[in-house]
Structure 1
Amino acid sequence: MSMVLLPTTALALLAWLMIRQLAKLTKKPKLDMPYLDFEDGDNSMQRYLHDAGSILERGYEQYLKEGLPFAMFNYMDASTPMAVIPLKYLEEVRSASTCKLSFNSFLNKSTVAKDIGGPLVTDRVIRVVRQDLNRALNEMIEPIQQACDKVFGILLPPSRDWTPLNGHSLLWPLVSRIMARTFVGPELWDSEEWHAVVSSYFHAGLAASQRVRDGYHPWLRWTAKYFDKDIKAIYAVRRKGEELLKPVIDARIADARNQANGQGPGFNDGVRWLVDAYRAENKPIKAEQIMQDEAFLVGASVHGITVNALSILFDLMDRPESLAEIQAEISQVHAEYGGWTRKSLGALRVMDSFMKESQRLHTPQHCTMQRRALEGYTFKDGLYIPAGTSIFLPSRLLGRDPDVHPDGAKFDAKRWKRMREEGDATKFHFASLQNDMLPWGSGPHACPGRFLVQEVIKIIFIHLVTKYDVKYSEGVESRPPDYLEHTNSIPNIMALLLFKER
């Protein structure tokens, strides 16, 4: 009898221990701050997907402006609320150790990248952008211009008739090729095969990320790769990308050896920088890993630059007087400098101010400075953030706050040009970091690619506004409403525009 009871008792004890452990792992950490939800009682996932901004607005006025944090449902990680904290914690957040408050962990967890086979953000890829890309940026200006010339000529061939095209369909392939030239190199920048890989990876990743995040318990997400069609597509395009990258990687390895022997000028692109990074760390150079690094670099930059440029285009179309000034400035600066370099692009102060004002009012991310607490974290004033909690600082609402920016609801195209003329000329440009505007984050972990974004958008608009007229389709008079998605908003990518050669 005892021989029968023994395994039964052991199984019961094991089950009890597993249940206890599961309860600990799934227990939501308690946040010592007010929790806001929808006051009418409709707190469905769909409501949070499209209307979370209204809770952020209420929390901003009621708590953040008083220096107090609040919590709300986190659509990207339903296991724990998101903590939205006021600006007074900015310095502590940006100086906190990444071992305690981590952006990488926040991004990797919110996108469930590991579970879907997507690219992980690593310190290595961030370092490549911050050091190698920014050091080489002046040399990238000419290839970026060449990409613009070619792609505009294909998508908008010379014509005196109005050509219908939505802005996203123009900007996405253009920016994709610019980023391929920057991060992959001259061999693949105009390859249709490579761009098909990038596009398929991006769209499959978006679909798989949302489906796995919403439909699988965290403990079971590892199983999704066996069932989800988009995850299977991710692995398939990864393999295709590796095949395309292998000869490029081999060429960069040979190039590094040649340079070490004093031969040749060498390649200056993302694959070469990654090869150098792995060599410096004495790690093997594998096509599958470089493919993942490239997927992160190209995917993140293409989406970010495209939505920013489209948003600026809408604002520019609504303000013909600013468009005329920018066109005149482009002609003047080009005549003065004789071409485009980072220095001459920096002289486009009217354009830069317009771009920054558009960014202030239409920041794609409502919150930035995202961090995930890897362990319990206590701020100096005693505010405690439990391990596993994601924290955010307001960006969009801070940028629109009339108590922070005079006439904050008004689009003032020359706001930042005046501030540069009246104060420090090196501040207040599009890629600047400011404590009262946080689209790029702040401190040592601020967006390392913001200077690339700045120069690419300027080159795109130099081509666009000097060679084409643009107008809305019939019946549309001004900027169409943005799409809202949780704590993000993007310009209307489906809005039809009309282009005509000038």
Structure 2
Amino acid sequence: MAGTTFAECQLVVDRWISETLDHPLGRYFMAGFGSSLVVLLVAIAAFCSRSKTPNVPILLQDEIGNARKRALEYCFNPREVMEKGYKKFKNEVFGLDTQDGLKLVIPPSYLDTLKSHPALSFKASIDNDMQIEYTHFGGPPEYVIHAIKANLTGSLPAFAPILHTMARKNMPKVMGTTDWTPVKIHDRVLRLIATNNARAFQGTAASEDEEWLSASTGYVLACFDCIRALKQWHPWLRPLVYRLIPERAAIKDQWAKGRKRVMASMKERQAKGGNIEDPPTMLDHLSNGKNEKMANDIEKQLVHQMNLIAVGTVTTYSSTTQAIYDLATHPEYVPILRQEVESVSRDANGNFTRDSTLAMEKLDSFIKESQRFHSPDLTTFQRAAIADMTLPDGTFVPKGTKMEINTCSIHKDKDLYENPGDFDALRFYKMRQGPGQEAKYQYFSVGREDLSWGFGRHACPGRYLSAINIKLIMAELLMNYDIKLCDGESRPPNIEFEVLCSPDPNYEILLKSRDH
């Protein structure tokens, strides 16, 4: 096994475990020899992992002597761990023990050098974070990213009024309530975002398909529950453990329902002899031009749609829910934001346009400040080395090593933000008032100080659609509902696990329809 990589060793063992468990007597065999297998796996892991490692300081090593305990500390208290790293190694590279091995945290000064480095892969890193072999959820391939940038983003002026029509129609049904009522807002926001995204990704029929909406929203939630469960185990044990995770069966069922919907959409395209409707959907873009060879490939189109709905929905619904929690926590901003939303121009049908959403500068600032505190990703610029490489400071990085930027700590840096611990909803609005600053500091902005969406060519391509959807939902909420915290309650803490930051799905706020 000399020269064998950890990943290659794991692939062999994964295949053997899968074949054994699929055999009629395999479960009995595994039950009888399970403890011996665990010992064997750990031994092989240690053997295969012996290679050159980055010569960097290891965070928490002086506090917690055991690497596995350091990894678990990072699992369950990631923000605190990252803040310690920022205070100690702000402008240096440091190592972080995780359940998937040593991860490097790099300073922002390396961004320009590494943003297009050929030895670094965004997709490989996301595939690992999302546990693609178990959830089927991973980073989008280059041609999907290109379709979003070149096709979908260009269609957003046409999409915005359509999405607003949908939000106006669906919000009363989803939110309900006429008098002050405790409401779990999380699932309702998820439903609204998934419905709008379904129209953009697959068409009107998909956005009205109850089975598809149930399956797609369920898939989003099941994926992250599955990821949190799996990440608590060593990678070598996950092929065994994942079969015992309840979400595995749910994911399998959701994909079966997804296949049914995608097949119906593909047949609709075939019957029309072209695009499903205007503006074209992502299914259309991934079936036209250079992608025409995939037009009738159900498996590829299914993967596209399930991943689009997952990655395109989770950031948007999470950020919208967090913004609503912040709005209820800071009611002093409600009249300011409501006045702005009500003063923005609409089209002849009473719908907001893309330009309308861009004119909501105070609302944009509000959701960006909420994102600064509660970004769905505590770290960004996630990359995995797909070949040995060297960092600008000379640090050797072996193939398979992951690296990222400590975004959550940068967002609280007093050298970058005045009173960073204070929630100032108009912070970025005020920053945009200076000469030449009008186009900066927007919710979808990307830069060395705007890292929530990543950096470089792999900065989130769907952030423009996300910004429109969030503003449309927030605008409708502001115009049609009053909102406040339940008596005696304060803003709920986030659910944080490794790089993931999620709003509490069970938290209730008080909601009441406004009298017009």
TM-score if structure 1 supplies the norm length? 0.86
Structure 1 residue 391 and structure 2 residue 403: aligned?
yes
Deviation sequence 1:474-494 (CA, Å, 0-9, x none): 221x32222221233223222
Deviation sequence 1:141-188 (CA, Å, 0-9, x none): 1221122123212123362x1122112022111111111111111112
Q: Is the 8 A contact 2:285 2:291 kept in 1?
A: no
Deviation sequence 1:215-267 (CA, Å, 0-9, x none): 4644x756778776543443333222212221211222454x457xxxx9755
Match for residue 128 of structure 1 among 137, 147, 153: 147
Alignment correspondent of 1:320? 331
Q: Is the 8 A contact 2:75 2:98 kept in 1?
A: no
Alignment correspondent of 1:433? 446
In structure 2, how many angstroms separate the alpha carbons of the residues matched to 1:227 and 1:498?
38
Superposed, which structure 2 residues align to 1:19-418 within 5 Å? 25-27=48-50, 29-37=52-60, 39=63, 43=69, 46-64=72-90, 67-75=91-99, 77=100, 80-97=101-118, 100-118=119-137, 121-157=140-176, 159=178, 161-215=179-233, 217-218=235-236, 230-255=247-272, 257-258=273-274, 266=278, 268-276=280-288, 279-280=291-292, 282-283=293-294, 285-334=296-345, 339-418=351-430
Alignment correspondent of 1:11? none
In structure 2, how many angstroms separate the alpha carbons of the residues matched to 1:158 and 1:228?
36
Larger Rg: 1
- The letter for the 2-side match of 1:312 is A
Q: Which stretches in structure 1 are left out of the alignment for 5+ residues?
A: 1-17
Deviates more, 1:86-95 or 1:112-121: 112-121
In structure 1, how many angstroms separate the alpha carbons of the residues matched to 2:295 and 2:268?
16
- The letter for the 2-side match of 1:93 is L
Deviation at 1:95, TM superposition (A): 2.3
Deviation sequence 1:325-374 (CA, Å, 0-9, x none): 11111122237996411112111111111221222222232210000001
In 2 relative to 1, CA 203–354 (structure 1 residues): closer, same or farther, beyond 3 Å? closer
- The letter for the 1-side match of 2:95 is A
In structure 2, how many angstroms separate the alpha carbons of the residues matched to 1:123 and 1:36?
34
Q: Secondary structure at the match of 1:35?
A: coil
Deviation sequence 1:41-94 (CA, Å, 0-9, x none): 582655332213222111111112xx211111124x2xx211001111011121
Deviation at 1:24, TM superposition (A): 5.4
- The letter for the 1-side match of 2:194 is S
Q: Is the 8 A contact 1:119 1:293 kept in 2?
A: no
Q: Secondary structure at the match of 1:334?
A: coil
Q: Is the 8 A contact 2:191 2:217 kept in 1?
A: no
- Percent pairwise identity: 26
In structure 2, how many angstroms separate the alpha carbons of the residues matched to 1:403 and 1:225?
44
In 2 relative to 1, CA 415–228 (structure 1 residues): closer, same or farther, beyond 3 Å? closer
Q: Secondary structure at the match of 1:165?
A: strand
TM-score if structure 2 supplies the norm length? 0.84
Deviation at 1:379, TM superposition (A): 2.4
In structure 1, how many angstroms separate the alpha carbons of the residues matched to 2:124 and 2:346?
48
In structure 2, how many angstroms separate the alpha carbons of the residues matched to 1:50 and 1:244?
37
- The letter for the 1-side match of 2:107 is P
Q: Is the 8 A contact 2:74 2:81 kept in 1?
A: no
Structure 1 residue 472 and structure 2 residue 498: aligned?
no
Structure 1 residue 495 and structure 2 residue 490: aligned?
no
In structure 1, how many angstroms separate the alpha carbons of the residues matched to 2:409 and 2:439?
25
Q: Secondary structure at the match of 1:95?
A: coil
In structure 1, how many angstroms separate the alpha carbons of the residues matched to 2:265 and 2:225?
29
In structure 1, how many angstroms separate the alpha carbons of the residues matched to 2:154 and 2:204?
18
Q: Is the 8 A contact 2:388 2:399 kept in 1?
A: yes
Alignment correspondent of 1:459? 472
RMSD: 2.7
Match for residue 481 of structure 1 among 468, 493, 496: 493
Q: Is the 8 A contact 1:435 1:442 kept in 2?
A: yes
